[in-house]
Amino acid sequence: MSSNREPGVVQGLFNPVTLLLAALLILVGCLPFAAAVMLYTLHSRAELSEAEVNAAKTATLLLRSFEQTIEPIDSLLQNFASTFDPSWTPQQTYDVLRAYSLPASIVQVAVIDREGIMVASNLAMPDGKRLDLSDREHFRVHRDRNVAHGELFISKPVLGRVSNTWTVQLTRALDDGHGHFGGVIVASYAISDFIDFYKKLRVEDDMLIALVGFDGIVRARAAGRTSFGDDISKSSAFTRIQGVHEAVYEFTSSLDGIERVGYMIKSERYPIFVVVAYSLEYVREQTRDFRAAIWGTALGLAVALLILVLLARRYLNMQNRLYTRELEGLARQREADVLGAISRVPGICVMQVNEDGPTLIGGAGSGPLSAALGRYLKGGRFQALSAGLKAPLVCSEHLSGAGQDLEVEMVVAPLRTIEAGERAEGARKEVVVFALDQTPRRMEENQLYQMSKLASLGEVATGLAHEINQPLGVIRLAATNALTGMKKGLPPEHLSGKLQRIIQQTERMSRIIDHMRIFGRKSDERLQPSEATAAVEGALQVVGAHFRLDNIDLSTRFEPALPEVLCRQDQLEQVIINLLQNARDALVEHRPDVSGAARRRIRIDVARESAATSPAMVRIEVADNAGGIPEGIIERVFQPFFTTKPPGKGTGLGLSVSFGIIRDHGGSLSVRNGPDGAVFTIRLPARGADTPPPSPPDAPPAIPAASDTPS
Ligand code: ADP
């Protein structure tokens, strides 16, 4: 019993509140990671824009520096162009060129005539050799007017034929004195200068610093690998800078495949733009520490929260266990209180039965009941009864113990155990048995039964006197007539007729006396199949004559082909006699006038209950026309000792005993008021109907409780 637990407590961990709490904690556990991702994204973005800003600054500075580098060279070229005289000899031209003080980055300054033939170079005195440079771009763009007159052209990097150095050519067109193309002045700028400078500026290996012409040709490029002359006119970066002055660079290089972020800015004075970009890997590398820090923090927080969740779970478990124990304690206390109260009921014994056998848990531990019950609970009959028991079972048993027979009423209830919940199959079985010793009550009822029979006997005695008196009169008359006939010498037929009559009458008398014997003895017969009509006829034989004296019309109506019932006929007869005597008493009391329509009538109907009722029943109805039972008392007529008859006449036992008899037959006795008087109905299960077995043979009828009383 004490192993019973509240299932809600056992499942406490899985209740919605706990699950919600767990979900909440998991959510909270994820929060650090969500925050870390957000922080990381924000920080990465900030790093990127910072890289862009830095690149923009560097690009602007480099563009300025480029312009400032080019400016004096361009001034020199402009100055030469303005003073140039087409009639100068190569020597004169050489002298002019030599007169200029040139920055170190200028590898050479040369003049090319309108035919593309180099006139003079500052590097060497003219030697009369003819050097044709007409194929060079920096000559062609001026000759073909692809560059506006008076504008500086910055060529692609070329390998100088004279200087043998990679240079970009800064060129300006010369005038022939008539406003026509008269040649080109060229300053060769060593690109290695730019490249070296740019290389120094780089903060990482893959950082890109490039000088690109508006034609998409790289003039100088410092990256992981330095280069020049590459054509990037098809690249996304080149497309991006078209039509704008500056733009963000965020591309994968078409030259080395490295992804970079940075900035591009165009010169307003020269056809050149500068690109400064950091490799994305480098930028990301800057956030590495921060990233490690935030992931570490997030992980730490998540672990802390997980520990918190586990602790909370443990705490909840503990709380649930405590709660369960508290409930179990309360339940045990309640059990003890209930058992304590039950134990006070006289003649009760409560036992718990499991695989180890029965244990007394309430009621008297010593005495014949507990000993007999203990033995019974260990027996095979009880094992069979309790096997597979799902709901409480009420039954009564005859137990023998200490030389005494006990009639015990029992409630056998299966107990739900935790083990049974966990292992449905083959689970440990436990039952509790409440046993109440009904022997004293039975004895009391027996006494009542005998008392009621004696009372009825007294009542029927008068009727019997009449019943026997009549055949006695007939016998006396027949004997007298036979004697007279013999004396007169009448033929033997006369004598045998009279004797026959005497035999018939004695048979009738012996039948009546037999009934009296049945009525008087203690019934110990088993239920026998018999016809309900036979019991009615037997009862009429006992009381019929008496009733006729009281001017009562007794009529019977028997449905043909009635099924038999299982009964003790003497008991059924006694019930019918009780009902008839009550009807007669009511008629005598309420119908003093017996003439005409007001005649006293009792009708007995025996019929089969409608086929719809299951199981099939046979109904015996006893109806009178005495006016019925007042509504105020109809509920109480089956109570023992309830009577409205004067003292000495009524015992108040007839109906209660009758009720018990019929109940023991597995049937029912009820009453209602019909149109003229009371209608008592006996219902008995028809033979073969699936009815519960009646009580043991020597069980006297029970006294019904007030609430059992049918109406
Ligand atoms: P008793 O006959 O000794 O009074 P019963 O138990 O047989 O005891 O009947 C109880 C009471 O039921 C009677 O006193 C009577 O008031 C009422 N009663 C029984 N049968 C009838 C009936 N047919 N008509 C009216 N009242 C009845």
281 and 360 in a single domain? The answer is no
Q: In the prediction, which pLDDT does 278 show?
A: 93
> For ligand 1, what atom is nearest to the CA of residue 655?
6
In a domain, 26, yes or no: no
Q: What type of residue is 291?
A: R
For residues 469 and 477, the answer to whether their CB atoms sit within 8 Å is no
One DSSP character per residue, 616-629 reads: -EEEEEEEE-S---
- Whichever domain contains 569, its CATH number is 3.30.565.10
Distance from C-alpha of 672 to C-alpha of 623, rounded to nearest angstrom: 10
Cα 586 to ligand 1 centre (Å)? 8
Distance from C-alpha of 657 to C-alpha of 663, rounded to nearest angstrom: 10
Q: In the prediction, which pLDDT does 445 show?
A: 66
Distance from C-alpha of 229 to C-alpha of 212, rounded to nearest angstrom: 9
Closest by CA to 678, choosing from 608, 619, 603, is 603
- Whichever domain contains 167, its CATH number is 3.30.450.20
Residue closest via CA to ligand 1's atom 11 equals 643
648 and 550 in a single domain? The answer is yes
| Residue at which a domain ends, from 285, 304, 330 | 285
Residues written for the chain: 711
Cα 569 to ligand 1 centre (Å)? 23
Please list the residues that pair with 189 across neighbouring strands: 106, 168
Residue closest via CA to ligand 1's atom 18 equals 582
Distance from C-alpha of 278 to C-alpha of 275, rounded to nearest angstrom: 10
Would strands 348-354 and 357-363 be described as parallel, antiparallel, or unpaired?
antiparallel
604 and 675 in a single domain? The answer is yes
For residues 577 and 542, the answer to whether their CB atoms sit within 8 Å is yes
Would strands 617-624 and 600-608 be described as parallel, antiparallel, or unpaired?
antiparallel
The set of residues, in sequence order, having a beta carbon less than 8 Å from that of 321 and lying 6+ positions away, is none
Total count of domains within the chain: 3
Closest by CA to 53, choosing from 246, 210, 289, 315, is 246
Q: Which of 452, 655, 711 for mutating ligand 1's site (highest number of atoms within 8 Å of CB)?
A: 655
114 and 223 in a single domain? The answer is yes
Q: What type of residue is 207?
A: M
Q: Spell out, as residue ranges, where the chain has pLDDT lower than 70.
A: 1-14, 21, 25, 401-403, 417-428, 442, 445-467, 511-525, 594, 596-597, 610-615, 647-648, 688-711
112 and 223 in a single domain? The answer is yes
Q: In the prediction, which pLDDT does 466 show?
A: 62
Q: In the prediction, which pLDDT does 522 show?
A: 52
Distance from C-alpha of 193 to C-alpha of 211, rounded to nearest angstrom: 12
In a domain, 2, yes or no: no
Q: In the prediction, which pLDDT does 61 show?
A: 93
Q: What is the pTM of this model?
A: 0.44
Cα 568 to ligand 1 centre (Å)? 23
Closest by CA to 365, choosing from 348, 382, 379, 345, is 348
Cα 672 to ligand 1 centre (Å)? 13
Q: In the prediction, which pLDDT does 361 show?
A: 84
Cα 700 to ligand 1 centre (Å)? 21
521 and 637 in a single domain? The answer is yes
363 and 231 in a single domain? The answer is no
Collapsing DSSP to helix, strand or coil, 419 comes out as: helix
Collapsing DSSP to helix, strand or coil, 105 comes out as: coil
Strand segments (E) across 98-165: 106-112, 118-121, 153-159
Burial label, 595 (beta-carbon count in 10 A; 0-12, 13-18, 19+)? exposed
Residue closest via CA to ligand 1's atom 26 equals 629
For residues 110 and 90, the answer to whether their CB atoms sit within 8 Å is no
Distance from C-alpha of 78 to C-alpha of 100, rounded to nearest angstrom: 13
The set of residues, in sequence order, having a beta carbon less than 8 Å from that of 296 and lying 6+ positions away, is none
Output the ligand 1 site: residues, CB below 6 A: 578, 582-583, 586, 624, 626, 629, 637, 642-645, 650-656, 678
In a domain, 32, yes or no: no
167 and 269 in a single domain? The answer is yes
> For ligand 1, what atom is nearest to the CA of residue 581?
2
Q: In the prediction, which pLDDT does 3 show?
A: 43
Distance from C-alpha of 616 to C-alpha of 687, rounded to nearest angstrom: 8
In a domain, 317, yes or no: no
Residue closest via CA to ligand 1's atom 22 equals 583
Cα 187 to ligand 1 centre (Å)? 148
Q: What type of residue is 474?
A: V
Q: Which of 580, 582, 676 for mutating ligand 1's site (highest number of atoms within 8 Å of CB)?
A: 582
- The two tokens of residue 150 are 């008076």
Distance from C-alpha of 614 to C-alpha of 690, rounded to nearest angstrom: 9
- Whichever domain contains 379, its CATH number is 3.30.450
Q: In the prediction, which pLDDT does 696 show?
A: 41
Q: Which domain holds residue 381?
A: 344-437
The structure tokens 């009646």 sit at: 694
259 and 356 in a single domain? The answer is no
In a domain, 698, yes or no: no
Distance from C-alpha of 144 to C-alpha of 155, rounded to nearest angstrom: 15
281 and 349 in a single domain? The answer is no
In a domain, 316, yes or no: no
Residue closest via CA to ligand 1's atom 14 equals 643
Cα 466 to ligand 1 centre (Å)? 24
60 and 197 in a single domain? The answer is yes
Cα 470 to ligand 1 centre (Å)? 30
The structure tokens 């009562």 sit at: 552
| Residue at which a domain ends, from 437, 466, 491 | 437
In a domain, 529, yes or no: yes
Q: Which of 591, 637, 711 for mutating ligand 1's site (highest number of atoms within 8 Å of CB)?
A: 637
> For ligand 1, what atom is nearest to the CA of residue 653?
6
612 and 539 in a single domain? The answer is yes
In a domain, 117, yes or no: yes
Residue closest via CA to ligand 1's atom 21 equals 582
Q: In the prediction, which pLDDT does 379 show?
A: 86
Residue closest via CA to ligand 1's atom 4 equals 643
Cα 523 to ligand 1 centre (Å)? 24
Q: Which of 643, 656, 658 for mutating ligand 1's site (highest number of atoms within 8 Å of CB)?
A: 643
